[in-house]
Amino acid sequence: MTQNYIKKNSTVLIGAGYWGTNIAKNLLKINNDILIYDKNKKNLNLIKKKFSNKIITLNNYKKILVDKNIKNLIFATPPSQNFKLVSKALLYGKKIFLEKPGFKNIDEFNIIEKKYNKQLNNLYFGYIYLFNNHIKFIKNFINNKKNGKILYVKCQRQNLGPIRNDVDVDYDLSTHDLSILIYLFGKRIIVQNNLKYFILKKTIADISVLSLKIKNFFADINNSWLNPDKIRRITIITDKKMLLFDEMKKENKIKIYNKYAEYPKISKLSNKNFFKNAKIYEGSTINPTIKENDPLYDEIKYFLEDNKKKNIINFKFAKKIVNLISSK
């Protein structure tokens, strides 16, 4: 590896598959050219062809680690490969961005924490929804007391594929929704039930339902990669309003319904009008204007910036999510 094309504080993308290609697109918006490593030569040739001469391909992982000009490593590799790759990289003091969920199981998180505790500040995890403007809007909605007390939250993430062969569907998909719930409501999340259905294989779950208790309300996460249509929805029920975030819509992804249901207090009912049925209150529907952004671009830029801000996608955050997935 020569020094003429590797500049000081360079970034290398590890993994040139589907998600690596998405990251490469965003890296090219920040830099004129990028360095990519993948042990699969076919993947390297495809991505180089796609981006013409803007891609510099590397073929020796060891040389990447020892090169002092290389500061940042972005891993777009399967969880089953990450432990071995990242363990080596941490020894060389690299700043590391690791696609969610990071490692294959909680045991690997525990080993990394124990063995590389001093290097944990160099680890960032790719939880893209924390950079999504719609999720930021929902956080402001929740924090506004005028919108009422949270009663229930439901997250749905379903599609036909992509079907993984190394992790369960909850590990692949529920991690997204858990990252959102932790961001919105903090860390007081308890797993009530973790239901899994093994359809295609006996060892890998294809459908999951994760039931949670968050502070004083309940939440469900429904995931499947065996579904006829693509669904990405979050429903939030308060005692005054209802919010629906439908990510698959091109416009008006968030709707706020000024409607709610409640039972009348028996003490206030007269003997002549003693009806205990719930009352439904319906008002106007609001479609808030939210500026669209590219969360992946903002996330990568956040990682690459040298700032003293608290790392919101840190090791503890990622481990918390995998701990919840591993519960029950």
Question: CB 248: neighbour CB atoms within 10 A?
Answer: 11
**pLDDT for position 244:** 98
* Residue spans per domain, the chain: 10-129+297-326, 133-292
Residue 2 has a pLDDT of 42
Using N-to-C axis directions, what is the helix angle for 18-30 and 41-50, rounded to 10°? 40
* Mean pLDDT of successive 10-residue stretches along the chain, which has 328 residues: 69 94 94 89 89 86 95 94 95 95 95 95 96 98 96 97 91 96 92 96 96 96 97 96 96 92 65 63 88 96 84 96 89
In this prediction, residue 53 carries a pLDDT of: 73
- Whether the Cβ atoms of residue 224 and residue 232 lie closer than 8 Å to each other: no
pLDDT of residue 3: 47
Specify the CATH number of the domain 10-129+297-326.
3.40.50.720
How many residues would you count in the chain? 328
133-292 belongs to which CATH class? alpha beta
Q: What is the pLDDT of residue 269?
A: 53
What pLDDT was estimated at residue 170? 95
* Omega prior to 162 cis, within 30 of 0: yes
End-to-end Cα spacing for the chain: 48
